[in-house]
Amino acid sequence: MKNIILALAVLGGLLTAPAYAAVKSVVLVHGAFVDGSGWKPVADILGRDGYAVFVVQEPLTSLDADVAATRLVLDRAGPSVLVGHSWGGMVITAAGDHPAVKSLVYVAAFEPAVGESAGALQTRTPPAAAQSVVPVGGGFVQVKPESFHQDVAADLPADAVHFAAISQVPIAAESFGAAAKTVAWSTKPSYAVVATQDRMINPDLERFMSHRAKSETIELAGSHAIFLSHPREVAALIEKAAKAAE
């Protein structure tokens, strides 16, 4: 009898059912010089925990092209947490206005305001590895392979990093001059990971950007490749964003 009364109460609007369920899709956006395969440790954790994971493979030919590639994935992902590492922060800041995006997570990433470019932010607070990015022809740049371990992933074994160094995906240099036109973190919840030993983006710049955006922030002792050296902690923050999202 109690169950019948409860059901009638809900149907009659006397009780309110939960307004939302936690988001169960995560879209991962990689940074410059790498591809989406680096997200595998984080993706494996999220998958085991019941999340549908989508990995964007950006062309790295321009900010607009990378945003377009991300939007195509969001079109099929449904309500999602959108996650960006490094350059991917520029991408998710623009693509995050997609209606599927319920929250954003910045992982050692650029978190620009309107009118700011990645290049201008780097000039504002230069990183330790300011001289490690070099031209490779055709208007593209990459990290010097001999500097990759020290400057990108010093907290990972050198032999594990070697292949990433020689299989880099160069990015169009002009991308770093592209300014943010829309800023998704101004209207949607955001979270951030500061990598305290980051040599590619100054940790103080990461702190400044996340504080300005009022992102819920954690700090992890590790390199720019913090998602590889601390996948459990990064995945936990993503899951926190998903559980809090409407």
Euclidean distance between CA atoms 211 and 128, whole angstroms: 21
Residue labelled with tokens 């595998």: 40
21 pLDDT band (50/70/90 cuts)?
low
Q: What pLDDT is attached to residue 22? A: 75
Phi-psi region of 93 (alpha: psi -120 to 50; beta: other; left: phi over 0): alpha
Element (H, E) at 25: strand 25-29
Question: Which residues fall within 8 angstroms of residue 232, CB to CB, at 6 or more apart?
Answer: 45
Residue 142 has pLDDT above 60, yes or no: yes
Return the structure tokens found at 4.
Answer: 């019948």
pLDDT at residue 246, rounded to an integer = 63
Of 115, 104, 60, the C-alpha closest to 80 is 104
Examine the pLDDT at 13 and tell me if it is beyond 50: no
Categorise residue 214: left if φ over 0, alpha if ψ from -120 to 50, beta otherwise.
left
Cα–Cα distance between 108 and 220 in angstroms, integer? 10
Note whether 28 and 43 are within 8 A (CB): yes
7 C-beta neighbours (distance < 10 Å), count: 11
Q: Side by side, which strands form the sheet with 140-143?
A: 133-137, 140-143, 171-172
Mean pLDDT score across all residues of the chain: 92
Domain boundaries, the chain: 20-244
The pTM for the full model equals: 0.91
Token look-up 């902690």 returns 233
- Answer whether residue 3 shows pLDDT above 50: no
pLDDT tens across 57-85, in order?
999 999 999 999 999 999 999 999 999 99
Tell me what the mean pLDDT of segment 45-67 comes to.
Answer: 98
Q: 20-244: what fold?
A: Rossmann fold (3.40.50)
pLDDT tens, position by position, 193-230: 999 999 999 999 999 999 999 999 999 999 999 999 99
State the DSSP string of 173-186.
GGGGGPBPS--GGG
What pLDDT was estimated at residue 2? 37
Report helix, strand or coil for 238: helix
**DSSP for 70-135?**
HHHHHHHH-SEEEEEETTHHHHHHHHTTSTTEEEEEEES---PPTT-BHHHHHHHS--TTTT-EEE
What's the maximum distance between 2 C-alpha atoms anywhere in the chain?
A: 76
